[in-house]
Amino acid sequence: MPTMIITSYNQARELEKLLGTIRAQSVQPSTIIVADDGSSDGTQMLCKQHNIQFLTQPDQGYRKAQILNEALRVAQSQYILFIDADTLLEKHFVEDHLKLAQKDHFVCGRRVDLGRRVSQRPDPLAWRHLIHSALIGETHGLKRALRLPEPLRMLLGYTKAIDILGSNWSAWRSDIFAVNGFSENQNSYWGEDGDIYIRLRNMGKKATNAKGKCIQFHQWHTRRTPNPATVARYQELLLNKTYTWAPDGIYRTSL
């Protein structure tokens, strides 16, 4: 069974809702690790109440990559599943990731973006609420909530390779360590997932598209805008076919 790593920052309310959808999973992760970037909203106490492993660090700006690497050092499972605290999971989410896992591949999913009002409901994933929220233009990407059989996924072209979205992906621990984990040079919002995607790709690992499986929902909150320089760096790195090792990753050495 996989280790599930949940990244968080001052999202205790969202995390509590997420934990309810994890408890309802058809297949449970072997371990849950909350990788916390310095929260001060009671996230640690919430994890203690639910007997969940909690790793944190001082709040010194955006340092998601650092705490993810710490979680990877602690994780014992051969397979790792990454999600964010502000998401909700369809009950087959973990099961689907495991079914799609295969040697020399990593699984890339996407998510439905929930509207503000439906996110605040006690039962945000009820279809009647989701459809209403989509019809009034608040929830986006509702078709991503459809879990499809494999033949239909293939017929619709849902197997075309895509890149990593940090809140919904999974990979073999050995492959992540082979590219030295997350680059801790990524110290502003957005980009750490794209950076590791490029290195996995350049190492010859293949992306498996999870569209129609691994259904995830993003709880509404005010969104940040990526730094244009960070986006430009990612676009430049996409063209680099030799970048396979992050010198400032899990191991602070160079190859």
**pLDDT at position 152:** 95
Can you say whether residue 33 is alpha, beta or left, with left for phi > 0 and alpha for psi between -120 and 50 degrees?
A: beta
- Residues of the chain with pLDDT > 90, as a percent, come to 90
CATH number at residue 102: 3.90.550.10
Asked whether residue 116 is assigned to any structural domain, the reply reads: yes
Q: What are phi and psi of 44, to 5 degrees?
A: -60, -45
Number of domains making up the chain: 1
**pLDDT at position 20:** 98
Asked whether residue 251 is assigned to any structural domain, the reply reads: no
Domain holding 173, by residue range, is 3-238
* Alpha carbon distance 197, 17 (integer Å): 28
Asked whether residue 231 is assigned to any structural domain, the reply reads: yes
The pLDDT mean for the chain works out to 95
Q: Which residues of 58-81 are buried (b: 16+ CB within 10 A; e: fewer)?
A: eeeebbbbbbbbbbbeebeeebbb
- Bigger pLDDT: 224 vs 168: 168
Average pLDDT over residues 47-68: 97
**pLDDT at position 254:** 47
pLDDT in tens, 72-116: 999 999 999 999 999 999 999 999 999 999 999 999 999 999 999
pLDDT at 232 over 50: yes
Residue 229: pLDDT band with limits 50, 70, 90: confident
Asked whether residue 254 is assigned to any structural domain, the reply reads: no
Asked whether residue 252 is assigned to any structural domain, the reply reads: no
Q: Which residues of 207-234 are buried (b: 16+ CB within 10 A; e: fewer)?
A: bbbbbbbbbbbbbbeeeeeeeeebeebb
Asked whether residue 245 is assigned to any structural domain, the reply reads: no
The single residue listed with the structure tokens 């990731």 is 97
**pLDDT at position 98:** 98
> Collapsing DSSP states into helix, strand and coil, what is residue 14?
helix
Asked whether residue 250 is assigned to any structural domain, the reply reads: no
Indicate the DSSP class of residue 212. T
Residue 253: pLDDT band with limits 50, 70, 90: low
Asked whether residue 248 is assigned to any structural domain, the reply reads: no
Average pLDDT over residues 145-151: 96
User: Dihedral sign, CA of 95, 97, 98, 100?
Assistant: positive
